[in-house]
A and B are shown apart, each in its own frame.
Chain A
């Protein structure tokens, strides 16, 4: 069992989650974060910390594609364990629907 990062993280990437995660299982893309399902211990600490409310348990129905996306990119993006500055325009993108199709970048982030 794991938690997964979903659509509303894209272009918001607030990164509050990485500070509270006890097992450093977040990986950074250019404009979103993902969780490595093999490292997440399902503690759920990150879920309420996310200002964009983009983190859910994988037991929630309908998240299958996000579970795959998290696993896929956690394998290739760099680890991030310290909160960095997110995008300046994060607020403007918070809550926009279907960001995956419009804005998702497969490019890696900087990591730490």
Chain B
């Protein structure tokens, strides 16, 4: 017998925690993303997850809990390339759809897409090169 999990119909700190936890389980199993994250977070994942709970709380619940400079953090990561943002987004979208109902999942996915595009522009856009970059 299978049971259908009831999808979450609102944004809360608890929902954000579930999303972040489930998302990073996928990330850590992903062939392309796992090595990047493993290099960036070689030890305890607790602090990173706490930071991500705070980040999404700031973005979705306007709590101001996260304060940081994500662009600089991404600049410092070796091996990041534009196509990995698409992979990241695909896993994030999949996780959001699994956990939340359509209305809420759309909100998460829209924010994630905007932020990913902005980080990608910040990292890779150069005035003298075509945008979007070739899929590399």
Query: A1 and B58: CB pair below 8 A?
Result: no
Q: Which residues of A in the span 38-73 have a Cβ within 8 Å of any Cβ on B?
A: 38-45, 49
Given A1-B117, A42-B115, A44-B111; A22-B58 close (CB under 8 Å):
yes
> In the complex where A22-B55, A22-B59, A45-B58 touch, is A81 in contact with B118 (Cβ < 8 A)?
no
How far apart are the CA atoms of A14 and B69 in the complex, in Å? 24
| Max chain A Cβ within 10 angstroms of own Cβ: one of B63, B68, B118 | B118
Q: Which of A19, A42, A49: most chain B Cβ within 10 A?
A: A42
> In the bound complex, do residue A41 and residue B71 qualify as a contact, i.e. CB atoms below 8 Å apart?
yes
Size class of B's contact patch? 20 to 34
> B114 CB to closest chain A CB, in angstroms?
5
Contacts A22-B55, A22-B59: A43 and B115 contacting too (C-beta < 8 A)? yes
Count: A-B pairs, CB below 8 Å:
53
Count chain A residues whose beta carbon lies closer than 8 angstroms to a beta carbon of B.
Answer: 18
| Interface residues of A, dominant DSSP | loop
Closest A residue to B120 by CB, please name it.
A1
> Is A76's beta carbon under 8 Å from chain B?
no
Given the interface pairs A1-B121, A38-B122, A41-B118, the reply to whether A19 lies near B71 with Cβ below 8 Å is no
Give, as a whole number of angstroms, the nearest-CB distance from A19 to chain B: 5
- A2 CA to B71 CA, complexed, in Å: 13
**A20 within 8 A of partner (CB):** yes
Nearest residue, chain B, Cβ from A1: B118
Chain A residues, Cβ within 8 Å of B121: 1
CA distance in complex: A43, B121 (Å): 14
- Please, what's the 1-or-0 string for A2-23, where 1 marks a CB less than 8 Å from any CB in chain B? 1000000000000000011111
- A24 within 8 Å of B (CB atoms): yes
A2 touches B118 (CB 8 A): yes
- Given A39-B71, A44-B111: A22 and B118 interface contact (C-beta under 8 Å): no
B64 within 8 A of A: yes
A20–B117 CA distance with the chains assembled, in angstroms: 20
**Which residue on B lies nearest to A21, using beta carbons?**
B64
Those 7 A-B pairs whose CB atoms lie nearest each other, nearest first: A42-B118, A22-B58, A20-B62, A22-B66, A42-B114, A41-B118, A43-B59
